[in-house]
Structure 1
Amino acid sequence: MLKYISAPEGTESAGFLASVEWGTMLYSLFIFILLFLLLRKFAFGPLMKVMEERQEKISADIATAEENRLEAQRLLSEQEAALEAARADAKQILDNARATSEKQAEQIIQTAKQEIEQSKKVARAEIEREKEQAVEALRAQVGSLSVMLATKVIEKELDAQQQEKLIENYLKEVGNKQ
């Protein structure tokens, strides 16, 4: 809404326009236009240029920040994928190590069982050999004692009672040596 300035009481509006100094008003308008043109050329132009550069810089910074954010998201995704792959590899390695250790433990147990069986066989063979040697030694002693007994019998002609005593003594002697 426009309001008109009313002239003071007792004056008319035609008188108001007459009291304006047109020269001063035109001079003021000329100075204003001149000042506006000078400001436009020397102040508004560089100021607008600075504002545009600032706007471009801010736009570029926003674009760079967005690119950096997208790059960071991509790198994060890659890192997460790499981490998952590393976890899977670690699990695979642990599973392989566990399976290998179980196989090695089973092989060690089998080897130990085989060695124990081999040791048992060797010990049995050794016992059997020693037993045969003992039997052989006993036979040899029995043979030599038989020869000695026969020699004694031949040297003496003995009656039946003496022969039985001699055999009993011989058997006692053989029993003590075993």
Structure 2
Amino acid sequence: MNIGITLLVEILSFGLFIYFFKRVLWGPLMKVMNDRQARIGDGLEAAQQAQQELEAANAEAQRILRESREESASILDQARARTNTMIEEAREEARAEGDRMIERARGEIEQELNRAREELRAQVASLAVVGAERILESSIDEQKHNEMLDKLAAEL
């Protein structure tokens, strides 16, 4: 074979290949390339939008966190104030209960004192009777009688 014919056949074959490639394969290949380029562009745009949404979400999370801290501080302050109020109420109640107990104890002491006075009066009366019996048994001397009554009064 001749090199010229071989070269001519190869050029013709290459031309047919290019024509066939351009007619049949070039359109779908370009469509695939353009679709891929569009998908990559959409992905980049979506990534940028997601980044913006992430920044907005972070800012919102920071705002919510700040509000939560402020609210928890407020709740703690209210709890402390309520605790102090409850402590003061308990102190006042304890003081009032203590005062009531003191008054009851004073009442009981007064009752015991009255009972003791009554017993003492009863004993004085019996001593007076005993003293009168002694006076009557001994002699009726007014001076002795007065001395004995003063003595009895001093004992009481």
Q: What range describes the TM-score normalised by the shorter chain of this pair?
A: 0.7 to 0.9
Q: Deviations along 1:82-123, whole A, 9 cap, x unmatched?
A: 222222221122111111111000001111111111111121
Q: Which residue of 1 aligns with 2:89?
A: 107
- How far apart, CA to CA, are the structure 2 residues paired with 1:162 and 1:81? 105
Q: Which residue of 1 aligns with 2:76?
A: 94
- The answer as to 2:128 corresponding to 1:146 is yes
- The answer as to 2:100 corresponding to 1:118 is yes
- The answer as to 2:56 corresponding to 1:74 is yes
- How far apart, CA to CA, are the structure 2 residues paired with 1:25 and 1:161? 179
Aligned CA-pair RMSD: 3.2
Q: Which residue of 2 aligns with 1:57?
A: 39
Q: CA deviation at 1:161?
A: 7.8
**Normalised by the size of structure 1, how large is the TM-score?**
0.69
- How far apart, CA to CA, are the structure 1 residues paired with 2:84 and 2:143? 77
- The answer as to 2:106 corresponding to 1:137 is no
Structure 1 portions without partners, runs of 5+: 1-20
Structure 2 portions without partners, runs of 5+: none
Larger radius of gyration: 1
Q: CA deviation at 1:72?
A: 1.8
- How far apart, CA to CA, are the structure 2 residues paired with 1:95 and 1:56? 58
Aligned residues: 153
**1:53 partner letter:** D
Q: Deviations along 1:2-26, whole A, 9 cap, x unmatched?
A: xxxxxxxxxxxxxxxxxxx9x9999
